């Protein structure tokens, strides 16, 4: 029997299929787009196809992410906070502090040793410091977002992005380009801006976080520049799993398995 | 338009109550509708006030009085607040300012705030409310009386405020032409004390496990009841809630079926429709069993020293004084009601909502009660994003489900 986790985020729709022994059989990521039901169908079909598994062999599905209630035939919907914590506990055992930066929100999650959420903080009021913020900055820099990570290399760190507003920050970046500021310095400033915002949330829930094993999940964790900036802001090592985008979906699949094992009626 | 709205609301509620469909909440809402009808009745004699104004004194003097924040809450609950808030952009209000106050100022610019006979400002709980009073006084060309509320009851503070209240009664008499009738004040104090005792009994019942209180039952109750103090209506409302909760406790009927989670709500509720009640009750068996402002923090008023008693009450509200007092009060409520978690909406632009946030969170954590800090404008529904809100609420409930109860 298999268990499916689907994470419907604002930018990407991710699916992970696991077996009875919690082995990841397949995973897939597709853009969410405007029609998330179509994206859910597509990512589910992809992951089952890649795994060579019939839909009938999936015992239960748990959904997460902002579109979690759009998944039909789900056993349950669970928030991404709980799912990311559960997923990272599997991938990076011993993690006590998790930073998840998704498309439109960022979260700092304090965890117990068993992966339970002890406390959390999320961005408030706006999407500064999230994937959308990074997307806007990449647009201003006219670079592919997936190529942004290494662009801060060699920066001296003399540039800051002062604005907390995504739109104003985009204007700020455009002005810096016009002034001839080197791209690596601008990107470094952007990364530090994101890291400072997230570090603020971390310090709120875990003032003495320095000794806690930390990890990062979400699509932004693929950006090595942001991860480096976060390490600097937190003053500690930050582990990143191989597929950070799919941590939430993995957590959802693990929860599906646990709930079935606990006797919940499978759908 | 507003008079018609409140009249229709009142007659609809009266019909339901007379047809045997009475509930404490309907009785309470009918009295609010009656207040709205009087405020917007065009008969003059209205006083716009600050939150800690002495409404029993004003009621005893026959003045229809209300705190200005009522207008913002009312416009938000009816879903029409947006255009009124926008109106204040033209008069120098920042978009980050408190929407309770922006809404009432916008409403005044659009002719939706009845002209008062006079105004009574209070320096507590916030300077934003006092600024509204001052703006309205200037706009309508009416006189205002500002009550300077001391931060605590030390030294001569009670006497200082009591003297102001005596002076206020002379100020009011000068406007109404009718001096304060000592017998009327004595009756008002008696009503206030009776309502106070009934409210205290209802709160005692609310502490039961499971609690007879559903999230909606006591929303805005304590703060709005202040408006009715001194009247027979206050006693009727308070008795209705007391009797209902007594019955539910006797029948072991909880406010939310199969109560699992008990919550403390900090400061004010979100005033527009937001679905939180349903999420909490239906999906998590959770209920807000206590609000920060649903507590009796003052002693019964001595009828022989009414001004001193009213002064003590005004000073006693949890928002007054140091944050340490407020945190101690919240801890007391959390313990007494055995709550599993607390929700702090942190109303945008509000001193009480945001300034004390970290200290409140820290204080409640010390006794094992986690706090969900939301970033919500409790009035302006245009700033509300349901998905973000829902995720925070649900994640908090999931987190609570994985924690041992602080009271086990």
Pick from B122, B235, B149: nearest CA to B188: B235
Contact, A77 vs A63, CB < 8 A?
Answer: yes
Measure the CA–CA gap between B403 and A164, rounded to whole angstroms. Answer: 34
**Do B68 and B9 sit in the same domain of this protein?**
yes
| Closest A-chain CA to B368 | A118
Cα separation of B23 and B250, whole Å?
A: 17
pLDDT of residue A211 exceeding 90, the answer is: no
Question: Which tops the pLDDT comparison, B408 or A264?
Answer: B408
The answer to whether B45 faces chain A, any CB pair under 8 Å, is no
Instruction: Average the pLDDT over A110-122 and give the result.
Output: 93
Q: Show which of B177, B211, B233 is a domain's final residue.
A: B177
The rounded distance, in Å, linking the Cα atoms of B403 and B261 is 11
* B111 and B193 assigned to the same domain: no
**Residue A266, pLDDT score:** 44
Q: Which residues contact A151 (CB under 8 A, 6 or more apart)?
A: A141, A143, A183, A184, A187, A225
Least Cα separation, residue B95 to chain A (angstroms): 13
Preceding peptide of B46 cis, ω within 30°: no
pLDDT of residue A267: 42
CB contact under 8 A, A124 and B391: no
Do B110 and B197 reside in the same domain of the chain? no
Question: Which tens digit of pLDDT belongs to each residue from A67-110?
Answer: 999 999 899 999 999 999 999 999 999 999 999 998 888 999 99
CA distance B124 to B130: 8
> Between chains, do A79 and B394 touch, taking CB under 8 Å as contact?
yes
Establish whether domains A2-84+247-261 and A94-240 are of one fold.
yes
Looking at chain A, which residue has its C-alpha nearest residue B341?
Answer: A119
**Residue from B359, B388, B396 to probe the interface with A (highest A Cβ count within 10 Å):** B388
Residues of B in contact with A125 (CB under 8 A): 375
Across residues A211-224, what is the average pLDDT?
93
> Looking at residue A264, what is its pLDDT?
54
CB contact under 8 A, A82 and B398: yes
Chain centroid to CA A18: 19
User: Cβ separation of B399 and A81 shorter than 8 Å?
Assistant: yes
**B388/A117 Cβ within 8 A:** no
pLDDT of residue A45: 96
B392 touches chain A (CB under 8 A): yes
Task: Say whether both B129 and B260 belong to one domain.
Answer: no
pLDDT at A163 over 80: no
All residues of chain A having their beta carbon less than 8 Å from the beta carbon of residue B403 are 116, 118
Q: Which chain A residues have a beta carbon less than 8 Å from that of B399?
A: 81-82, 116-120
Q: Same domain, yes or no, for B173 and B225?
A: no
User: Could you tell me the residue ranges of all domains in chain A?
Assistant: 2-84+247-261, 94-240
Q: Please provide the CATH number assigned to the domain covering A94-240.
A: 3.30.420.40
CB A167 within 8 A of CB A135: no
Contact criterion met (CB < 8 Å) for A82 and B370: no
The CA distance from A125 to the nearest CA of chain B, in Å, is 6
Give backbone dihedrals phi and psi of B272, rounded to 5 degrees, phi first: -100, 165
Contact call for A81 and B395, based on CB within 8 A: yes
- Any A CB within 8 A of B404 CB: no
Taking CB atoms and an 8 Å cutoff, what residues of chain A touch B391?
Answer: 66, 79-81, 105, 122
Which of B391, B401, B404 is the best residue to mutate to test the A interface, defined by the most A CB atoms within 10 Å of its own CB? Answer: B391
Determine the residue among B373, B395, B402, B406 to mutate to test chain A binding: the one whose Cβ has the most chain A Cβ atoms within 10 Å: B395
Which of helix, strand or coil describes residue B199?
A: helix
Same-domain status, B258 and B367: yes
Q: How many domains does chain B have?
A: 2
C-alpha torsion A19→A23→A25→A30, nearest 10? 110
Would the CB atoms of B375 and A125 count as touching at under 8 Å? yes
Give me the residues paired with residue B343 across strands: B265, B372
Please report, for residues A17, B32, B36, B224, B272, the alpha-carbon distance to residue B42 in angstroms, rounded to integers and kept in the order given.
Answer: 68, 17, 11, 22, 27
Count chain A–chain B contacts defined by CB atoms under 8 A. 41
Shortest distance, CA A74 to any CA of chain B (angstroms): 15
pLDDT tens, B198-224? 999 999 999 999 999 999 999 999 999
Q: Shortest Cα distance from B392 to chain A (angstroms)?
A: 8
B164 and B213 co-located in one domain:
no
Do the bridges between strand A106-111 and strand A117-122 make them parallel or antiparallel, or are there none, so unpaired?
antiparallel
Q: Decide if B408 is inside a domain.
A: no
Do B240 and B357 share a domain, yes or no?
A: yes
Residues of A with CB under 8 A from a CB of B: 66, 78-82, 105, 112, 116-122, 124-125, 204
pLDDT averaged over consecutive 10-residue blocks of chain B (408 residues)? Answer: 92 96 96 96 92 97 96 93 89 86 95 96 92 96 97 94 98 96 98 98 98 96 97 98 98 95 96 91 95 97 98 94 94 98 91 81 96 92 88 96 90
**The sheet that has A117-122: what strands, in order across it?**
A117-122, A106-111, A97-101, A214-217, A238-239
Domain of B361, in residue numbers: 184-401
Strand positions, DSSP E, A72-163: 76-77, 97-101, 106-111, 117-122
Q: Which of A105, A116, A204 sits opposite B402 (nearest CB)?
A: A116
Neighbours of B298 (CB within 10 A): 17
The predicted structure's pLDDT at residue B96: 82
CA dist B175 → A177, A205, B68, B169 (Å): 66, 54, 20, 10
Q: What is the ipTM of this complex?
A: 0.88
Residues B169 and B217 in one domain: no
Here the CATH number for the domain that contains residue B334 is: 3.40.50.11900
Are A121 and B370 in contact (CB < 8 Å)? Answer: no
Q: What is the gyration radius of the CA atoms in chain B, in angstroms? A: 21
Could you give the CA distance from residue B183 to residue A242 in angstroms, rounded to a whole number? 79
Residue A106 pairs with which residues in a beta bridge?
A101
Superfamily in which the A2-84+247-261 domain is placed by CATH: ATPase, nucleotide binding domain (3.30.420.40)
Q: What is the CA radius of gyration of chain A?
A: 19
A265 has pLDDT over 60:
no
B284 falls within a domain:
yes
Asked if B243 and B357 sit in the same domain, the reply is yes
Of B110, B144, B177, which closes a domain? Answer: B177
Report pLDDT for B24: 97
CA dihedral for B397, B402, B403, B404, sign (positive or negative):
positive
How far apart are the C-alpha atoms of B203 and B181, rounded to whole Å? 33
CATH assignment at residue B119: 3.40.50.11890
In this predicted structure, the answer to whether residue A125 has a pLDDT above a threshold of 80 is no
Rounded Cα gap, residues B278 and B142, in angstroms: 44
Domain boundary among B118, B146, B177: B177
Q: How far is A82 from chain B (nearest CA, A)?
A: 7
Interval A240-254: pLDDT, tens: 999 999 999 999 999
Same domain, B278 and B365: yes
| Residue B220 and residue B171 share a domain | no
Out of A117, A124, A204, name the one closest to residue B398 (CB).
Answer: A117
Provide the 3-class DSSP secondary structure of residue A74.
coil
């Amino acid at each position: 029997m298999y268990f499916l986790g689907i994470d419907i985020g604002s930018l990407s729709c991710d699916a992970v299929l696991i077996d009875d022994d919690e082995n990841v059989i397949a995973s897939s990521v597709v853009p969410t787009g405007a029609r998330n039901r179509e994206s859910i169908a597509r990512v589910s079909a992809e992951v089952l196809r890649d795994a060579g598994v019939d839909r009938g062999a999936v015992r239960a599905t748990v959904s997460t992410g902002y579109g979690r209630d759009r998944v039909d035939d789900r056993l349950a919907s669970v928030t991404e906070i709980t799912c990311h914590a559960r997923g990272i506990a599997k991938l990076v055992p011993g993690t006590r502090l998790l930073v998840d930066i998704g498309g439109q929100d960022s979260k700092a999650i304090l965890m117990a040793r068993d992966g339970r959420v002890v406390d959390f903080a999320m961005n408030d009021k706006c999407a500064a410091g999230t994937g959308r913020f990074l997307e806007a900055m990449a647009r201003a820099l006219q670079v592919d977002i997936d190529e942004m990570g290494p662009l801060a290399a060699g920066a001296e760190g003399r540039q800051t992005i002062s604005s907390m507003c995504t739109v104003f920050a985009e204007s700020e970046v455009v002005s810096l380009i016009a002034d001839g500021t080197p791209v690596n310095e601008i990107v470094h400033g952007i990364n530090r801006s994101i890291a400072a915002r997230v570090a603020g949330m971390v310090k709120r829930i875990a003032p003495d976080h320095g000794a806690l094993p930390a990890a990062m999940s979400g699509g932004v964790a693929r950006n090595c520049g942001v991860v480096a900036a976060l390490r600097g802001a937190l003053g500690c090592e930050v582990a990143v799993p191989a597929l950070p985008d799919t941590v939430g979906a993995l957590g959802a699949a693990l929860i599906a398995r646990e709930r079935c094992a606990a006797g919940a009626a499978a759908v | 338009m507003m008079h018609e709205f409140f009249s229709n609301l009142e007659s609809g509620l009266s019909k339901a109550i007379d047809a045997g469909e009475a509930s404490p909440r309907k009785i309470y809402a009918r009295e609010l509708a009656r207040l709205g009808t009087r405020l917007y009745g065009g008969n003059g004699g209205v006083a716009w006030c600050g939150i800690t104004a002495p409404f029993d004194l004003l009621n005893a003097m026959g003045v229809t009085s209300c705190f200005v924040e009522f207008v913002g809450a009312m416009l938000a609950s009816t879903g029409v607040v947006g255009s009124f808030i926008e109106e204040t952009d033209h008069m120098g209000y920042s978009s980050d300012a408190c929407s309770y106050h922006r809404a009432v100022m916008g409403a005044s610019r659009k002719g939706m705030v009845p002209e008062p006979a006079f105004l009574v400002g209070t320096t507590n709980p916030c300077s934003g409310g006092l600024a509204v009073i001052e703006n309205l006084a200037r706009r309508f060309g009416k006189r205002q009386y500002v009550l300077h509320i001391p931060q605590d009851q030390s030294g001569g503070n009670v006497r200082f405020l009591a003297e102001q209240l005596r002076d206020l009664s002379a100020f009011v008499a000068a406007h109404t032409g009718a001096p304060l009738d000592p017998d009327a004040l004595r009756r008002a104090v008696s009503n206030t004390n009776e309502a106070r005792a009934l409210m205290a009994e209802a709160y005692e019942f609310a502490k039961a496990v499971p609690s007879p209180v559903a999230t909606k039952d006591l929303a805005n109750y304590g703060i709005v009841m202040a408006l009715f103090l001194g009247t027979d209506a206050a006693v009727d409302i308070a008795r209705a809630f007391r009797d209902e909760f007594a019955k539910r406790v006797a029948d072991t009927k909880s406010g939310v079926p199969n109560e699992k989670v008990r919550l403390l709500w900090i400061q004010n509720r979100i005033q527009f429709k937001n679905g939180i009640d349903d999420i909490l009750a239906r999906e998590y068996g959770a209920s807000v069993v206590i609000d920060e402002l649903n507590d009796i923090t003052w002693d019964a008023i001595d009828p022989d020293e009414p001004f001193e008693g009213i002064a003590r009450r005004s000073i006693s509200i949890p928002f007054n004084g140091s944050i340490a007092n407020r945190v101690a009060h919240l801890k007391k409520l959390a313990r007494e009601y055995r709550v599993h978690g607390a929700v702090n909406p942190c109303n945008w632009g509000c001193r009480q909502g945001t300034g004390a946030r970290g200290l409140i969170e820290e204080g409640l954590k010390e006794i094992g009660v986690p706090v969900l800090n939301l970033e919500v404008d409790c009035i302006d529904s245009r700033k509300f994003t349901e998905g973000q809100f829902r995720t925070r609420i649900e994640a908090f409930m999931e987190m609570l489900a994985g924690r041992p109860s602080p009271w086990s």
